[in-house]
Structure 1
Amino acid sequence: MKNKCFNIAWLIAILLSFTACNDFLDIQPVGKVMPKTGQEFRDLLTEAYSAIPSDRGMATFRSDELTLEGEQNQESLNSYLDIWCWNDVAPDQTTLSFGWQRYYYVNYIANSVIENKDNITEATQAERNQLAGEAYMLRAYMHFILVNLYAAPYTHCNPAASKGIPLKLNSDVREVLSRNTVAEVYASILSDINEAEKLLNVENWPEGETYRFNTLSANAFRARVYLYRGDWANAYDYATDVVNRHGELEDLTTSSTLPNHYQSVEAILSMERLFIASSLGVGYVNPELMSLYRSGDMRRSKFYRQISSSATEALKTGTNEFRCTFRSAEFYLTAAEAALELNDMDNARHYLTELMKKRYLAAIYPTYEAEVLAMTQDELREEIYNERFRELAFEGHRWFDLRRTTRQELTKTYKGETYVLQKDDSRYTLRIPSEAIAANPGLEEE
């Protein structure tokens, strides 16, 4: 009974902490009335979208994309320093927190929409279905980010036995939560995508609404889930489906639009703010990342700006223009990696070089294409990893790619102090927040 009371208090506290923004957030657990009309449920989902944490962007600080050497705003730096050097045991009180509670808040809204789908008034059946489909996708995506922050990576554990995160599949705030296994969480994510696919019916949203899930986002999401699971056959099938249906790429030799811009031809879903404004100016681009961009690679000049002899800043971050969850280049790289692991070297090379054509000067590209065609499987694997790093840097992928692949040793230096994340270090997985465990002891660490 004591645990149940703590659990109720924790979830209601989440709801109370967010009710100031919108009347529709005064939902039943805090004594108000649920929305009824299609517009009211749309407003509720809009609030859920706006509440999604920027944690994939914040995880950039844990990866090897940034260095903190140089002159930064000390107040902002203090918010990120402990994240950057993996100090999870005793971080400074000013350190920003990853958004454990907010994910469950978003899921509360998603569950409320799902449960009330058939009771929505003043809406067509297609509109009701679309709202519920988006809610299923939101719930799946929140669980996906949570399990990839707070649980061992699927590819480096026994998924059937390793503790994951609590699944929240209903709006009952009295339910006592415990941690599901990693395998259970992934199974639930895929089940929710399947349910969403039956309901989603909007292929393309108008400008200003492209943060909402559309029909193509189901297979885009599946491709990423299967990639993270190391299920190469399914990752390949879904990634190639996305490329076949939405294979447009920005040609950086001629286009001035960055590929992760919400108006880019590559955009599929522009939902997440990945690098918030307070992150700008805190760190500079790691010189080791810059060294991966070779002569003739247009990304070097278009993704970055050198501001001094020792400092380079990223240009593809920091504003709502660069909201990006899925874009087409990701799926060329997923198809290439999956094909490689399926021993299909021809298609691995094909999808990698199709992307490279749009990133390198025409006079230089044939040299690099010839190198790719001559690579062994191990060499090509490393090249695909490097190409993911070059292409998707500062878009919330690198930390998760490190987790699911090599879990390599990382070394960082700040003001003469060296910090090391060992290979396969336990800090590749975040600790569940102590306040969450205090409120629900069933979430205790393994």
Structure 2
Amino acid sequence: MKKRRLNILWIMAALFAFTGCNDFLDIQPVGKVMPKTAKEYRALLTDAYSRIPAERGKTTFRSDELTMEGETNTTNLDSYLDIWRWNDTSPDETTLPFEWLQFYYVSYIANSVIEQQYNITEATDAERNQLAGEAYMLRAYMHFILVNLYAEPYTHCDPKNTKGIPLKLDNDINKVLSRNTIAEVYTSILSDIKEAERLLNVEEWPEGETYRFNTLSVPAFRARVYLYMGDWQQAYTNATDVVGKHGELEDLTASSTLPNHYQSVEAILSMENIFNSSSLGAGYVASGLLSLYRSGDLRKSKFYKQLSASATEVLKAGVNTYRCTFRSAEFYLTAAEAALELNDMDNARHYLTELMKKRYLSAIYPTYEAEILSMTQDELREEIYNERFRELAFEGHRWFDLRRTTRQELTKTYKGETYVLQKDDSRYTLRIPADAIEANPGLEEENRE
């Protein structure tokens, strides 16, 4: 019975993945023709890119970036309020669910390309390799987001003995899946990135196609993976590789382009619409975040707009022009954090201050630089965490940063009610959706408080 349920789940995933596509994307033997040419496989991958869930943006509501106080949009508020207050056991029926299955049918498409890469017709070897390389990166990225939503953070568990999420590395819909360990998931992610590195050959895509993985996205993705693993040497090596190849930063003292804009000089991969239009109006920028921006920090006025004494809205999100998966500032911060943990204080300060020069008024920056140079290791660690918060707010990083680092206590209030996420709370990890467990009881989680 369990096997039958899982088969149904994967058949539904496969069918849904191709719903609305052209006839050549139908699945054999149910459909008529599998894609054959490079053009057809490119269309298949384009469909996969379009279906990547915006769950990194949804985690913004679980973090400390937003407040729900004020005259927010009622419809949007109902969709996000229980996410915001961590009510995972009995959310209102209007609450938006976190995706699970959609990640797997994006992987299904990626697996289709990988399995058929040597059969693609009307293509050069370089074109076949590029398509396959993108598919490996897509599969790795889907597993990476899933394991960081639905499993314990790598840095706060025994990865070799802690259950993660099921790996789906082929399109056999008859295979009964179980949860792989967290270590197994990360090993698979890194293996896929390594294979993609061998295959990818497009260094830069033209405007309109920058949502596609390129060669620089390999060390960028790898740096983020190793950061989340707490592998400081590999995180540093890959982050500095990115900075060395693509170290451009938007100079906010002179530029009107926001750093996470797809046309920014910082852009590496503009794949995800992180904090989309449906999220705007459901809340305002939290006062705790705003208080982190010090005098002379140009980001406060460029990233946000004050509507009233108690309400500030975010400007760096909500439209497709702010699609952003990897940009150069992230890797300055990764290099700084990794160097710090390697006891290399000089380089930690160097990469942090190189970013700060582009974010603060030139007359004020020397004051903050002097503070950085005088900080102890613990003080500098806290400053790097705060700088990540200031720089990467509303770009899908904060919740994952909280998970992998301090898992600190968070307190929120709404209409006189106080909600608390305790330090190291089990709710730092999402519950696997009930319908997924019903389809496959093998996914059942251990008892949680």
**Into which bin does the TM-score normalised by the smaller protein fall?**
over 0.9
Deviations 1:167-199 (A, max 9, x none): 000011111110000000000000000000000
The answer as to whether partners of 1:29 and 1:173 remain within 8 angstroms in 2 is no
- Tell me how many residue pairs correspond in the alignment: 445
CA distance in 1: counterparts of 2:179 and 2:18, whole angstroms: 27
In the alignment, is residue 68 of structure 1 matched against residue 61 of structure 2?
no
Match of 1:144, SS state, is: helix
The corresponding residue for 1:397 is 397
Deviations 1:90-141 (A, max 9, x none): 1111111111000000000000000000000011110000000000000000
Letter of the 2:118 counterpart: D
The answer as to whether partners of 1:232 and 1:338 remain within 8 angstroms in 2 is yes
Q: Map 1:330-409 onto structure 2 (within 5 A).
A: 330-409=330-409
CA distance in 1: counterparts of 2:186 and 2:25, whole angstroms: 29
The corresponding residue for 2:325 is 325
The answer as to whether partners of 2:25 and 2:35 remain within 8 angstroms in 1 is no
Deviations 1:202-231 (A, max 9, x none): 000000000000000000000000000000
CA distance in 1: counterparts of 2:386 and 2:86, whole angstroms: 23
Q: Map 1:47-446 onto structure 2 (within 5 A).
A: 47-446=47-446
Structure 2 CA distance for partners of 1:12 and 1:351, relative to 1, 3 Å:
same
Aligned-pair distance for 1:442? 1.0
In the alignment, is residue 28 of structure 1 matched against residue 28 of structure 2?
yes
The answer as to whether partners of 1:12 and 1:30 remain within 8 angstroms in 2 is no
Structure 2 CA distance for partners of 1:81 and 1:299, relative to 1, 3 Å:
same
CA distance in 1: counterparts of 2:44 and 2:277, whole angstroms: 25
Aligned-pair distance for 1:31? 3.2
CA distance in 1: counterparts of 2:25 and 2:409, whole angstroms: 44
Deviations 1:305-357 (A, max 9, x none): 00111100010001110000000000000000000000000000000000000
The answer as to whether partners of 1:252 and 1:358 remain within 8 angstroms in 2 is yes
Structure 2 CA distance for partners of 1:4 and 1:349, relative to 1, 3 Å:
same
Letter of the 2:384 counterpart: I
CA distance in 2: counterparts of 1:48 and 1:41, whole angstroms: 11
Structure 2 CA distance for partners of 1:367 and 1:29, relative to 1, 3 Å:
farther
CA distance in 1: counterparts of 2:347 and 2:340, whole angstroms: 8
CA distance in 1: counterparts of 2:30 and 2:306, whole angstroms: 51
Letter of the 1:173 counterpart: I
Letter of the 1:135 counterpart: A
Letter of the 2:431 counterpart: R
Match of 2:18, SS state, is: coil
Aligned-pair distance for 1:30? 3.9
Aligned-pair distance for 1:29? 6.2
* TM-score, structure 2 as length reference: 0.98
Match of 2:307, SS state, is: strand
CA distance in 2: counterparts of 1:198 and 1:29, whole angstroms: 32
Letter of the 1:393 counterpart: A
Deviations 1:228-268 (A, max 9, x none): 00000000000000000000000000000000000000000
The answer as to whether partners of 1:164 and 1:179 remain within 8 angstroms in 2 is yes
The answer as to whether partners of 1:16 and 1:30 remain within 8 angstroms in 2 is no
Letter of the 1:84 counterpart: W
CA distance in 1: counterparts of 2:320 and 2:12, whole angstroms: 29
Letter of the 1:140 counterpart: A
The answer as to whether partners of 1:18 and 1:25 remain within 8 angstroms in 2 is no
The corresponding residue for 2:15 is 16
Structure 2 CA distance for partners of 1:315 and 1:62, relative to 1, 3 Å:
same
Aligned-pair distance for 1:26? 2.1
Letter of the 2:32 counterpart: K
Letter of the 2:192 counterpart: D
The answer as to whether partners of 1:336 and 1:349 remain within 8 angstroms in 2 is yes
The answer as to whether partners of 1:133 and 1:195 remain within 8 angstroms in 2 is yes
Letter of the 1:154 counterpart: Y
The answer as to whether partners of 2:5 and 2:439 remain within 8 angstroms in 1 is yes
Letter of the 1:208 counterpart: G
Any unmatched runs of 5+ in structure 2? none
Aligned-pair distance for 1:14? 2.0
CA distance in 1: counterparts of 2:66 and 2:329, whole angstroms: 22
- Please give the root-mean-square deviation of Cα atoms over the aligned residues, in Å: 0.8
CA distance in 2: counterparts of 1:113 and 1:270, whole angstroms: 21
Aligned-pair distance for 1:396? 0.1
Structure 2 CA distance for partners of 1:29 and 1:252, relative to 1, 3 Å:
farther
The answer as to whether partners of 2:335 and 2:348 remain within 8 angstroms in 1 is yes
CA distance in 1: counterparts of 2:248 and 2:271, whole angstroms: 19
The answer as to whether partners of 1:243 and 1:331 remain within 8 angstroms in 2 is yes
The answer as to whether partners of 1:19 and 1:26 remain within 8 angstroms in 2 is yes
CA distance in 1: counterparts of 2:360 and 2:59, whole angstroms: 28
Match of 1:255, SS state, is: coil
